[in-house]
Structure 1
Amino acid sequence: MSIHNYPIFDMIESGQRSLPKDIAEAEPSERAYMALRASCDRQGNYPCNLMQRKQLKSTTERYRRQLNDEDDKLFNHDFEEIHFHELQDKGIGDHRRPFWLTTGHLSFEILRLSRNISIKMVAIPSLVLCTTHDSSCLCLPQLTVHSFIQAEHSRAPLNCSRDSFSHILSYHQVPPTFIDLVSAFGFTHYPTDYHMTGFDSDDTLAVKDPSKLLMIPTIGRSGREHRMQYLLRSTERDYASDGSRKWNIRQTAVYHTFDLIEGKALWINMKANSLLEDRIKEATADSAIMNSAAMGDLAESFSSTLTIHLIFLEWCDQDWRTCINDCESKIRNILAKAQTSRVDQPAEFNASAKRALVMNQAKTTGLSNHEKRSFSCPSIWQWKKRIFPKSPSGHGHRDFNEKERFRSVGEVGYTQRTQINNLNNLDTFSFDSIQQLHYLEEQLGSYHLVMELNRQAMHDIAERYRNLLSHRGCPEYLQIHCLADVEAFIQRVERIKKNLDIRMAQVTSLLAWLRDGKDLVKHMILV
């Protein structure tokens, strides 16, 4: 069931606004509420419909055209499924309030609240806006909302329509720069955009004029929030049809906001499979990982967002060691014969002798088995007659020169056999070996680039939180109670960055070894 079949607001023709005539007489929060309704009504124009624009009109129009151009690539027109996971606040009053977990799929639901008030909602309770302005309607704000948009596989369109995508991003007023990260997904024949990364963040702490804030108390928005978005990649194991292990680079895009007054958090996560969704659900249900009982506290809610960030960041480091070891094993198997084969020639084994050996070997392959035996294995009397002729005295004694001749012939025969064995060993190499090495070189180069870009994104994330609490506009309550958690978070991020540094050093060393080995194999095949 499509999200736009059961809209939050009654849809109107594109370009029209649903603002009442007496908007000028409404309270500021009511005007913001009406403006948000109008923005969602014009979801088809996202991101040109956003209420707080920080880019030129031409820039937002360019992003809108980009979505139009990539519509078929990014979005699934035949199937739609968006998953949600939420921590919902069901109390009022102080900071510490109970909560419950709910999960849902993209469907129309009726939420029954106190006083028998029914509120239409789409997909999740956080997308609720009351259809009446009756003050007795108690909208329950969600402490944390996770939205998961997935795909059938890593190169398939997202499991959502353009309308649903625009509807959700319009409601949450997601900035158009998030489209750059989303564009890394969608239908493609080959993996692309490994060089592409992204990080952006901003906040409203420095806004002095309250009228410029998107304050909508009805849905729990204070307007004082910080926003963050980033794109990460990692390697995930898979298995071929023959059961062998293989590795693929996978990506995830994250959009996050946190209301610094209300303590509400929003997460929009895009990833083809459900790996990160499952981990987040596991973490939110595990009291040892997240203090769920205290999620109603502003500081606890803020600290829990750091835990969610770490789930994404630790995913970037989880399987690199095994992946790199597998690459090293494949390279070693190819280069082992090249590194143990001798291609140097003794001084007496000159070029003409080598050519003669090769010609002899070629001629031998064309003879019958009997001829081969006759050619390659002369009888004892033939060798004796050839190498040990009778002396002039007729007694058959060999003089000193005959002994030296025997030694020379024996050494040449041994050298010939050794060199033929070495040349035969080279038959095991082919251009396929070079192709395999070239493929592994490309893979290792991609791995190094991905880790380097991830490292930069982690640096930006840690720097963002380091500066956030020191901002003059940050609530003092957070500065006092969250400083230790932020410092611990930054230390964890630094540890992950160091792990990536180690992996990048391993890849660099492995690439140097591979390139030297590839040159050796080329020389052995082509010389």
Structure 2
Amino acid sequence: MFDDIVHDCEKAESWPLCPSMQGGVQAAMHSLNQINSQLTLRRESLFSTNLAKFRLLLWEGYSTQSHCQSKEVRTLDLLKQHLNQHIDKGVKDPIVRYIFFSAGNSRKPLNCTLEAFRFLCTYLQVSPEYADTLLSFGEPSGDIVEFHQPSSYQEYFLPPVAEKFLKTPELGRSGWELRNIYKLSAMELSADGYFMRQQAVHHSFDFATGKSLFIITKANNNAIRRQIEGIGKGAVPDSTARSFLDSLETQLISFIWCADGWKEHIGVLELKIRQISKRIHNISMSSEDEHVSFDHGGQGASSANPDSPWENQDGTGPRLNSFKRISSVLSDNFRWIGSEKRLGTSSTIVVEPKKTKTTSERLQENTETIQNSIKRIKILEEFPFSGLQKLTSACQHLQEAKLVMVLNIGVLADVREFYEDLFEAAEFPPGIKKYHATELQTFLRRIRCSEKKLSTQCTRVDALIHITNDGKNLYNSIQQRQSAETSTLFAMDALGTSIRMESSTKRMEDIAQSTERDTASMHVITFFALVFLPGTFLGSFFSTPIFDTTSKESPWEMNWGLFWLFLKICFPMMVITILLWGMYVYVAKIRRLQRQRARVAQLC
């Protein structure tokens, strides 16, 4: 196996398809090919191509040392030189080894090249599943960011199966080891608020030699700083049991970290949600404003239930109120009194017109109703559409937070169950189980505490989502109410116009009746004028100098000179009058035709 590792390190660019990785249960060829394709495809987005940013941090502790020592590797050659010393000089792996990958942030490539990552994984025989957990790091290919994919993978290798592909005595590897691979997410506070961060861990522990390996990938240095603080305080373990317990403590740092920050993040969202919900619930609608009357001449008709402004019990909402108020226009004009006889006899319906109000009173009520509607619309407009957008955004963040917390709980449960089964396994070292049972149970209990902590926040998120949905539903009711009030405003405006038109119609009717009476009087006058017209004409004609009635000798002597002068003046004036009237009618007709042609031309 040692020769295979040496050969594979020389051709590390083929990892995870190298021969040393194809002997285990975890090495299904289909999965290996898929992981290799993803690494090649994400070469530039996941790994850095800028050699100046290359940086790996190593903490190692050998049996000859009391404490772990740190080493920073800045080039691939230095990494190969550091690891090849175990192959070239026969130096066995350290008791404790921590390797840290980092990046500027979760959307930037790791400070490591793909070649260095492949070489490191080849030498350390890293499970290919760890590479799959790293695919959510680096620059995203689009708007989809794979933060919300906490996952876990555990392996437990026992001789003699593990001896075929893991046992390497030259490097101090017995093959009897466990592997715990997991990726977790948590909320971390930054200068711009809380942001979701992720951490991927590859841990292996050799039960025969007590060697512990941690490969930790984290976008920023917060979690790395926690790990380093824990490493710096602890000495290099002097026994397998101590090394195993230290590995459990190291993992607890990640398990506790994944449960932190959610409470504060949800608290920020809750504050925003409650502020918006308070504004929605505090929109005041006075009961007197609900008595909106669409009176069309009768007594005012108020809403059916003034104490329930929304009236959503029957599912119709505020539109039902408007319909009821509008329908009162028809129902209030007449009072129907029916008397119904038995045995199917016909009923008698008596229509009694109610006492109508004056036009000024109706216009005054209409104006007051319009003012009340405008007042309610202004109140409803105090909650803008941006409030609904903020509620929707908060609800989305809550759902995302719950998704990640539920997945974190699943990862913690998988790890806990894995270690519970491991502690109960017959192959588990009896010395650890017998003398350190308390520490083992404490480890499991602290994992359960993180699970409960996350479960509590999930329950809190569920309650906030219900509050958010209630606020959104109430906002929709506000929008419906605003639409109904707007419709009411237009209806009342139309009603006012109708009242004014009705008043104008009544005045026109009075004018028509007065004109009719005047026309009848004129007919009488015209009739009598027509009756007396012949006599008047004859009287006027005989009173002219044409007839000389003053002569006693000939009282009916006619003055023909004056008569012909009368005809010469009268007939030409009649002809001139007729011609002038005809010219006026002709010009008016020409102008009318020109206007008609102009309108037709505009339409065409």
What is the TM-score of this pair, normalised by structure 2?
A: 0.63
Looking at both structures, which has the greater relative contact order when contacts are Cα pairs under 8 Å and sequence separation is at least 6? 1
User: In structure 2, what is the equivalent of residue 251 of structure 1?
Assistant: 198
> Relative to structure 2, which stretch is displaced further, 308-317 or 412-421?
412-421
User: In structure 1, what is the equivalent of residue 292 of structure 2?
Assistant: 349
Structure 1 residue 425 displacement after superposition: 2.8
Structure 1 residue 99 displacement after superposition: 2.2
Pick aligned residue for 2:45 from 73, 86, 93 = 73
Structure 1 residue 140 displacement after superposition: 5.6
> Relative to structure 2, which stretch is displaced further, 169-178 or 259-268?
169-178
Matched, 1:204 2:157: yes
Equivalents in 1 of 2:431, 2:112: separation in Å?
39
Describe the shift of the 1:524–1:344 C-alpha distance in structure 2 as closer, same or farther (beyond 3 A). farther
State the Cα deviation string for residues 466-510 of structure 1 (Å, max 9, x = none).
111222222222222333211111001111111111100110000
Structure with the higher helix share, 1 or 2: 2
Which SS does the other structure have where 2:128 is aligned?
A: coil
Structure 2 counterpart of 1:43, one-letter code: A
Structure 1 residue 225 displacement after superposition: 0.7
Which runs of no fewer than 5 residues in structure 1 stay unpaired?
1-31, 92-97, 110-119, 241-245, 287-291, 354-407
User: In structure 1, what is the equivalent of residue 507 of structure 2?
Assistant: none
Structure 2 counterpart of 1:203, one-letter code: Y
User: In structure 2, what is the equivalent of residue 315 of structure 1?
Assistant: 257
Contact 2:2 2:168 survives alignment (8 Å): yes
Structure 1 residue 275 displacement after superposition: 0.9
Identity among equivalent positions (%) equals 24
Matched, 1:448 2:402: yes
User: In structure 1, what is the equivalent of residue 445 of structure 2?
Assistant: 491
Structure 1 residue 264 displacement after superposition: 0.9
Equivalents in 1 of 2:109, 2:128: separation in Å?
20
Structure 1 counterpart of 2:404, one-letter code: V
Matched, 1:152 2:109: no
User: In structure 2, what is the equivalent of residue 337 of structure 1?
Assistant: 279
Matched, 1:100 2:63: no
Contact 2:133 2:183 survives alignment (8 Å): yes
Describe the shift of the 1:85–1:522 C-alpha distance in structure 2 as closer, same or farther (beyond 3 A). same
Equivalents in 1 of 2:399, 2:38: separation in Å?
30
State the Cα deviation string for residues 83-116 of structure 1 (Å, max 9, x = none).
334241243xxxxxx522211222479xxxxxxx
Pick aligned residue for 2:14 from 10, 31, 45 = 45
User: In structure 2, what is the equivalent of residue 457 of structure 1?
Assistant: 411
What is the TM-score of this pair, normalised by structure 1?
A: 0.72
Equivalents in 1 of 2:227, 2:443: separation in Å?
17
Equivalents in 2 of 1:352, 1:44: separation in Å?
87
Give aligned pairs, total.
410
Equivalents in 2 of 1:281, 1:443: separation in Å?
32
State the Cα deviation string for residues 295-339 of structure 1 (Å, max 9, x = none).
111111100111111110111111111111110111122222211
Equivalents in 1 of 2:295, 2:276: separation in Å?
31
Describe the shift of the 1:444–1:175 C-alpha distance in structure 2 as closer, same or farther (beyond 3 A). same
Which SS does the other structure have where 2:281 is aligned?
A: helix
> Relative to structure 2, which stretch is displaced further, 409-418 or 341-350?
409-418
Equivalents in 2 of 1:183, 1:258: separation in Å?
24
Equivalents in 2 of 1:351, 1:157: separation in Å?
68
Equivalents in 2 of 1:165, 1:338: separation in Å?
54
User: In structure 1, what is the equivalent of residue 597 of structure 2?
Assistant: none
Contact 2:92 2:170 survives alignment (8 Å): no
Equivalents in 1 of 2:431, 2:255: separation in Å?
27
Describe the shift of the 1:294–1:231 C-alpha distance in structure 2 as closer, same or farther (beyond 3 A). closer
Describe the shift of the 1:323–1:58 C-alpha distance in structure 2 as closer, same or farther (beyond 3 A). closer
Pick aligned residue for 2:56 from 83, 104, 128 = 83
Describe the shift of the 1:350–1:415 C-alpha distance in structure 2 as closer, same or farther (beyond 3 A). closer
Which SS does the other structure have where 1:479 is aligned?
A: helix
Equivalents in 2 of 1:519, 1:88: separation in Å?
60
Equivalents in 2 of 1:422, 1:85: separation in Å?
68
Which SS does the other structure have where 1:451 is aligned?
A: helix
User: In structure 2, what is the equivalent of residue 395 of structure 1?
Assistant: none
Structure 1 counterpart of 2:97, one-letter code: V
CA RMSD of aligned residues (A): 2.9
Residue pairs, 1:3-82, within 5 angstroms: 32-53=1-22, 54=25, 55-79=27-51, 80-82=53-55
Describe the shift of the 1:466–1:514 C-alpha distance in structure 2 as closer, same or farther (beyond 3 A). same
Residue pairs, 1:474-513, within 5 angstroms: 474-513=428-467
State the Cα deviation string for residues 215-235 of structure 1 (Å, max 9, x = none).
323322111111010110111
Equivalents in 2 of 1:266, 1:348: separation in Å?
77
Equivalents in 1 of 2:135, 2:162: separation in Å?
34
Contact 2:133 2:151 survives alignment (8 Å): yes
Structure 1 residue 196 displacement after superposition: 2.2
Pick aligned residue for 1:225 from 172, 177, 181 = 177
Which SS does the other structure have where 2:95 is aligned?
A: strand
State the Cα deviation string for residues 48-96 of structure 1 (Å, max 9, x = none).
01514233333322221121112122111114433334241243xxxxx
Structure 1 counterpart of 2:3, one-letter code: M
Contact 1:82 1:148 survives alignment (8 Å): no
Describe the shift of the 1:100–1:453 C-alpha distance in structure 2 as closer, same or farther (beyond 3 A). same
Contact 1:200 1:230 survives alignment (8 Å): yes
User: In structure 2, what is the equivalent of residue 303 of structure 1?
Assistant: 245
Contact 1:88 1:143 survives alignment (8 Å): yes
Structure 1 residue 420 displacement after superposition: 4.6
Describe the shift of the 1:414–1:340 C-alpha distance in structure 2 as closer, same or farther (beyond 3 A). farther
Equivalents in 1 of 2:271, 2:231: separation in Å?
39
